[in-house]
Amino acid sequence: MTPRRSVRWARLRSRLRPPRTLKVTRIGRTYLVVTFGVGLGALNTGNNLLYLLLGLLLSMVVVSGVLSERCLRYLSVRRVGADAAFAQEPFVFRWAISRGQGHAFALTLSEADSPLSGSGGVGYLPAGVDHIVRADLTAPRRGPVRLTGVRVTTTWPLGLFAKTRTFPLESTLLIYPRRTYACQDPGAPEQGPVGEAGNPRRNDGNGDVSGLRDLAPGEDARRIHWVKSASAGKLLRVEREREERRTFVLTVADGLDAQALERRCEEVAALAHRLIEEGHEVGLDTPGERIRPAAGAAQERRLLRALAWLGHERPGGGEEAA
């Protein structure tokens, strides 16, 4: 099925979905079997006490349906999203849920009609409170995941039935390549050293000694040259040349099959993470996109987004959830 047809089928399925769905729990099945047995006993014996007990059991079913429906009314749900979602490992996903009036109990939130597995819940939701529900979700593969709605389920009050209401919310969650180890070498850098630029997370480099200067307040005492400081009568620190920052451009070849493309995306993501952690500039060259080399966490996020979209058609509409 093509991506366009799958999106149309998901939209049609969401429109044909009933406003409420009801599922009998394990406790509910036992309760219904007992109720059915009491009903048979009342019909066979004509005992008024059994009729009274049967009426009580049936009334509890009605009460359970009414109270669970009240829990699902006046609710408002929106997606907060995830900071970063990687394939085949749990990631934190959040929803915001609030209630206009009344109280709700035993709510469970999950994504409807999506390959994401996992759910989160809230035990008590008062009116007028915007509550953040956290869940650990897992995605089976890399790429965009079409989200059509948020499923809210409650088993209140007796746990006999699980009543579900689905809120239609369309968006796209981008799943980054699975985090793994890079088995290949990145190859030769595109160019040599760039001036004196070094790793931005270090205050000084670890190269050759370039000179001595006075130790400023708050600086690392491990940089002190004790022999020169003793002869000069003051604390002198060693200045070293910063490590070279090099530029690498990682490539993803055209014409790869699905399995080879997945493996290549994982390798490129691992290489980019390692090189950026070392302070180098990393770029990306794919059949449909070219990203200029740069350094830092923002550049790594741009590379991961490009790798996640590789081999998938970018939709024209819909809000991205991460």
Give the pLDDT mean for 189-210.
48
Q: pLDDT, tens digit, for every residue of 231-254?
A: 888 888 877 655 567 889 999 988
CA atoms within 13 Å, Cβ hemisphere of 265: 29
Q: Would 49 be classed as within a structural domain?
A: yes
Given this model, what pLDDT does residue 234 score? 83
Q: pLDDT, tens digit, for every residue of 128-166?
A: 999 999 999 999 999 999 999 999 999 998 999 999 999
Q: pLDDT, tens digit, for every residue of 61-84?
A: 999 999 999 999 999 999 999 999
Residue 314, burial from CB neighbour count under 10 angstroms (0-12, 13-18, 19+):
exposed
Same domain, 29 and 171: yes
Closest-CA residue to 154 (of 145, 165, 143, 144) = 165
Given this model, what pLDDT does residue 197 score? 41
Q: What are phi and psi of 74, to 5 degrees?
A: 60, 25
Q: What is the CATH number of the domain that holds 99?
A: 2.60.40.10
Mean pLDDT over each residue of the chain, to the nearest integer: 84
Same domain, 32 and 149: yes
Domain limits at 230? 209-240
pLDDT band per the 50, 70, 90 thresholds, residue 200: very low
Q: Would 5 be classed as within a structural domain?
A: no
Could you give the number of structural domains in the chain? 3
**What percent of the chain is modeled with pLDDT above 70?**
81
Judge if pTM exceeds 0.85. Answer: no
Same domain, 107 and 39: yes
Same domain, 59 and 93: yes
Same domain, 68 and 143: yes
Q: pLDDT, tens digit, for every residue of 48-63?
A: 899 999 999 999 999 9
pLDDT band per the 50, 70, 90 thresholds, residue 12: low
Q: Would 43 be classed as within a structural domain?
A: yes
Handedness of CA 211, 294, 273, 270 (dihedral sign): negative
Given this model, what pLDDT does residue 199 score? 44
Same domain, 158 and 29: yes
Given this model, what pLDDT does residue 231 score? 83
Closest-CA residue to 164 (of 106, 115, 117) = 106
Pick the last residue of a domain from 127, 160, 175: 175
Q: Would 295 be classed as within a structural domain?
A: yes
Q: Rounded distance, CA 270 to CA 289, Å?
A: 19
Q: Rounded distance, CA 115 to CA 176, Å?
A: 15
Ordered DSSP codes for 216-268: PTTS-GGGB-HHHHHHHTS-EEEEEPPPPP-EEEEE--TT--HHHHHHHHHHH
For residue 3 the two structure tokens come to 């991506």
Same domain, 26 and 171: yes
Q: Would 70 be classed as within a structural domain?
A: yes
Q: Would 9 be classed as within a structural domain?
A: no
Q: Would 44 be classed as within a structural domain?
A: yes
Same domain, 142 and 281: no
How many Å is the Cα radius of gyration of the chain? 30
Same domain, 130 and 278: no
Give the pLDDT mean for 201-218.
61
Same domain, 150 and 189: no
pLDDT band per the 50, 70, 90 thresholds, residue 19: confident
Same domain, 263 and 281: yes
Q: Would 4 be classed as within a structural domain?
A: no
Same domain, 129 and 264: no
